[in-house]
């Protein structure tokens, strides 16, 4: 509430509603003089910070030391005394990732090195490729791809003859797929790896009949594969580091997307409890995520402090806080949903297994997405 004098006119300046008191019953605006002084702006700013901090720390106390309590209070409609779950999540996640990326997750430097294989390694690769092509030709009973396979086999054999005649021509070998990073295995078809640019691949695809061209997904993966190897000169290590760095920076978005999915898992586990709607599970998930962010951050800080003092790593700290996180999840489930210990433990184990499956799926999707945005 402002300390400015109240206006004598009982009409809201914001919405025009008739007033019966200091605040508008329709839009909530305070009926004060519209002329602000600089001092009022300063005091209002300080008040908002103190008010936010007061709510934050009181909410934090219940969040950490009474698992499930805040979610239960929100379910009962008692919300004015606590920080809103969304604001709580935004604040804690922003603070967590700011600290995590600044101090604990250093981005790996990418140093591109062009791969230089020895003559023996290239010859072994040629022999393996020859054996693979001969096997495919033998198994190709329909004969659709036999001509292409035989043509590739002739190139491999020609390179082998060339290399036996003059080992200094190792860099002139063209029949082998380039080494390096590959997005996914496409039925062991690595013929596109011989291409140096995306333009070459597009040109070859355009020359084929429409029925023989790669499908949309396969074409997109091959084009990106060629692009990455072209950009990082075929250095698989450099590509993997670049993709990993990009993937790590997508962590906040990935966790945010996992929130409604985690709430959906809880909805499935407690589908018989009609008093819990989907939004209640999501609110519980938000409080749970916030608490885990803080637990992880405290564990990292404590480990850093002890490492700086004693100059040695302390694995027991990470293990202790990991166990604390798992125990917090169980305790919050038991307090919020109010079921017996045996049933809670069973649903807790099922929740961990289902969450693991969802997170692995999200990891795969976001890792692939990270490779496509480079």
Q: Over the stretch 283-300, which tens digit does the pLDDT of each residue have?
A: 999 999 999 999 999 988
Residue 365 near residue 257, CB atoms below 8 Å: no
Asked if 163 and 59 sit in the same domain, the reply is no
Asked if 261 and 374 sit in the same domain, the reply is yes
- Which of 62-66, 167-171, 177-181, 363-367 is the least confident region? 177-181
The verdict on residue 198 lying in a domain is no
Mean pLDDT of the chain: 82
Which pLDDT band holds residue 361 (cuts at 50, 70, 90)? very high
Q: What pLDDT is attached to residue 187?
A: 47
Domain boundary among the residues 161, 178, 195 is at 178
Domain boundary among the residues 178, 203, 222 is at 178
Q: What average pLDDT score do residues 27-35 get? A: 80
Which pLDDT band holds residue 14 (cuts at 50, 70, 90)? confident
Q: Which domain holds residue 12?
A: 1-32
CA-closest candidate to residue 235, choices 182, 168, 282: 182
Q: What pLDDT is attached to residue 292?
A: 95
Q: What pLDDT is attached to residue 20?
A: 83
| Three-state secondary structure call for residue 30 | strand
Asked if 166 and 256 sit in the same domain, the reply is no
**Overall number of domains in the chain:** 3
The verdict on residue 86 lying in a domain is yes
The verdict on residue 91 lying in a domain is yes
The verdict on residue 357 lying in a domain is yes
Asked if 8 and 27 sit in the same domain, the reply is yes
Distances from the Cα of 273 to the Cα of 19, 263, 269, angstroms: 44, 14, 9
The verdict on residue 185 lying in a domain is no
62-67 long-range contacts, CB within 8 A, separation 24+:
63/88, 63/287, 63/290, 63/291, 63/294, 64/291, 64/294, 64/295, 66/335, 67/291, 67/328, 67/331, 67/332, 67/335, 67/336
For 64-127, the three-class secondary structure string (H helix, E strand, C coil) is HHCCCHHHHHHHHCCCCCCCCHHHHHHHHHHHHHHHHHHHHCCCCCCCCCCCCCCHHHHHHHHH
Top-confidence range, 20-24, 85-89, 302-306: 85-89
The verdict on residue 25 lying in a domain is yes
The verdict on residue 302 lying in a domain is yes
Residue 24 near residue 17, CB atoms below 8 Å: yes
Which pLDDT band holds residue 145 (cuts at 50, 70, 90)? low
Asked if 366 and 243 sit in the same domain, the reply is yes
| Three-state secondary structure call for residue 186 | coil
The verdict on residue 215 lying in a domain is no
Asked if 13 and 155 sit in the same domain, the reply is no
Asked if 252 and 338 sit in the same domain, the reply is yes
Which pLDDT band holds residue 2 (cuts at 50, 70, 90)? low
Which pLDDT band holds residue 176 (cuts at 50, 70, 90)? low
Asked if 72 and 120 sit in the same domain, the reply is no
Asked if 249 and 372 sit in the same domain, the reply is yes
Asked if 75 and 144 sit in the same domain, the reply is no
Asked if 55 and 130 sit in the same domain, the reply is no
Asked if 239 and 374 sit in the same domain, the reply is yes
Share of the chain above pLDDT 90, in %: 27
């Amino acid at each position: 509430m402002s300390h400015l004098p109240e206006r004598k006119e009982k009409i809201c300046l914001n919405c025009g509603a008739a007033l019966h008191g200091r605040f508008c019953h329709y839009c909530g605006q305070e009926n004060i003089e519209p002329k602000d002084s600089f001092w009022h702006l300063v005091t209002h700013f300080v008040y908002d910070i103190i008010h936010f901090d007061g709510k934050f720390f009181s909410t934090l106390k219940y969040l950490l030391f009474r698992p499930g309590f805040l979610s239960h209070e929100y379910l009962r409609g008692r919300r004015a005394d606590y920080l809103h779950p969304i604001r709580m999540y935004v604040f804690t996640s922003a603070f967590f990732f700011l600290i995590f990326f600044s101090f604990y997750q250093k981005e790996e430097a990418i140093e591109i090195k062009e791969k230089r294989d020895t003559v023996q390694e290239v010859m072994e690769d040629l022999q393996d490729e020859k054996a693979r092509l001969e096997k495919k030709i033998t198994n190709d009973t329909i004969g659709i791809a036999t001509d292409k396979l035989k043509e590739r086999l002739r190139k491999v054999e020609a390179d082998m003859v060339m290399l036996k005649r003059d080992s200094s021509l190792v860099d002139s070998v063209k029949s082998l797929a380039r080494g390096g990073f590959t997005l996914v295995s496409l039925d062991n078809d690595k013929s596109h790896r011989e291409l140096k640019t995306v333009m070459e691949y597009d040109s070859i695809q355009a020359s084929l009949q429409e029925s023989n061209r790669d499908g949309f997904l396969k074409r997109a993966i091959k084009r990106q594969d060629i692009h990455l190897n072209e950009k990082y000169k075929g250095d698989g290590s450099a590509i993997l580091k670049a993709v990993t760095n990009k993937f790590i920076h997508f962590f906040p978005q990935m966790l945010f997307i996992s929130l409604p999915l985690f709430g959906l898992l809880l909805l499935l586990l407690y589908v018989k409890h009609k008093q819990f709607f989907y939004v209640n599970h999501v609110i519980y998930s938000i409080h749970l995520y916030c608490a885990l962010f803080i637990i992880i951050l405290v564990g990292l800080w404590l480990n850093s402090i002890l490492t700086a003092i004693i100059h040695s790593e302390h694995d027991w700290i990470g293990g202790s806080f990991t166990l604390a996180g798992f125990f917090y999840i169980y305790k919050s489930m038991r307090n919020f949903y109010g079921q017996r210990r045996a049933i809670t433990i069973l649903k807790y184990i099922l929740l961990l297994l289902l969450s693991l499956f969802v997170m692995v799926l999200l990891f795969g999707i976001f890792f692939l997405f990270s490779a496509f945005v480079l």
